[in-house]
Amino acid sequence: MEMRSHLGRVRGLGSSNDGVHHWWLQRITGVALVPLTIWFIVSAVSLAGADLEQFRSWVGAHANPVLLCLLIFTMFHHGQLGLQVVIEDYVHSETTKLLLLIVTKFTAILFGGYSIFAVLRLTFGG
Amino acid sequence: MATRKRPLSPHLQIYSPQITSVLSILHRITGVILAFGALLLANWVISATYGADSFALAQDLLGSWFGRLILFGLTLALYFHLGNGIRHLAWDMGRGFSLPQVRTSGLFVIAFTLVMTVMTWIAAYSAAGDF
């Protein structure tokens, strides 16, 4: 017999203790990536064979630095959320799983942070 | 407690591939591929902060036949994951669950992937003046 109240069960947020937070973030980042990705493909196509000067002026122009930073942030966020699910589904050793999850998250933060910093540098010079 | 060798329930290899299952696993596979593609994008942007030579090297590597092959694969993966992702969002809203609808939307995603990939590469080649 279930001894817990409905409220108590909802507050516990299920077996992950996290409710639908992960699932919801994956959808929201996915929705945000639809326009960002389309914008990026159009831009990347025009940058085929560009040199540094052309690249720099594209990165710094108008809303481009903002969109590029948002793309990088959302892409790495969405990517690490997805890889987390794949790892949790297929890796059954607790140690390997934990290690892979940490590597995934650290890599996403490192490359995401570094490339956003690179965009700011290219925009503001230095 | 020792587990006896019990018969397993029918597993993946017993089922013939169907559009539903194939597109489902492709969504995962392309997602993982694109996560590595994100690292490539990061390196491309970062290389520009190291000066004209390193950015030119990055551009040359991406423009080599091998780089183009990788980028072509990433374009396919990206359009598939984008199209199929929108298909998933429709399901999340409770739409398009009947089998004929699932098949039609699946075929639509495949067509979208192929057409958009070809169009993108035609655009890229004409932008680079390689035609």
Interface confidence (ipTM) of the complex:
0.85
Segment B6-64, tens digit of pLDDT: 777 777 777 888 888 889 999 999 999 999 999 999 999 999 999 889 999 998 998 88
Residue, of A3 and B51, whose pLDDT is higher: B51
CA dist A90 and A93 (Å) reads 9
Segment A20-61, tens digit of pLDDT: 888 899 999 999 999 999 999 999 898 887 888 889 999 998
Given an 8 Å threshold on Cβ–Cβ distance, is A114 in contact with B51?
no
Instruction: Pick B38's closest partner by Cβ from A48, A52, A75.
Output: A75
Residue, of A19 and B92, whose pLDDT is higher: B92
Segment B68-121, tens digit of pLDDT: 999 999 999 999 999 999 999 999 999 988 899 999 999 999 999 999 999 999
Among B45, B116, B117, the strongest candidate for a mutation testing the A interface, having the largest count of A CBs within 10 A, is B45
pLDDT at position A19 is: 73
DSSP per-residue string spanning chain A: ---S-HHHHHHHTTTTTSTTHHHHHHHHHHHHHHHHHHHHHHHHHHTTT--HHHHHHHHHSTTHHHHHHHHHHHHHHHHHHHHHHHHHHH---HHHHHHHHHHHHHHHHHHHHHHHHHHHHHHH--
Helices B99-127, A21-46: axis angle to 10 degrees equals 30
Q: Which amino acid is at B30?
A: T
Among B32, B40, B41, the strongest candidate for a mutation testing the A interface, having the largest count of A CBs within 10 A, is B41
Given an 8 Å threshold on Cβ–Cβ distance, is A50 in contact with B86?
no
CA dist B107 and B90 (Å) reads 15
Instruction: Pick B49's closest partner by Cβ from A76, A112, A118.
Output: A118
Given an 8 Å threshold on Cβ–Cβ distance, is B78 in contact with A37?
yes
* Chain B residues in contact with A49 (beta carbon < 8 A): 59, 63, 128-129
Who's near B98: CB < 8 A, 6+ residues apart? none
Is A60 at the interface with chain B, CB within 8 A?
A: no
Is B78 at the interface with chain A, CB within 8 A?
A: yes
pLDDT at position B131 is: 52
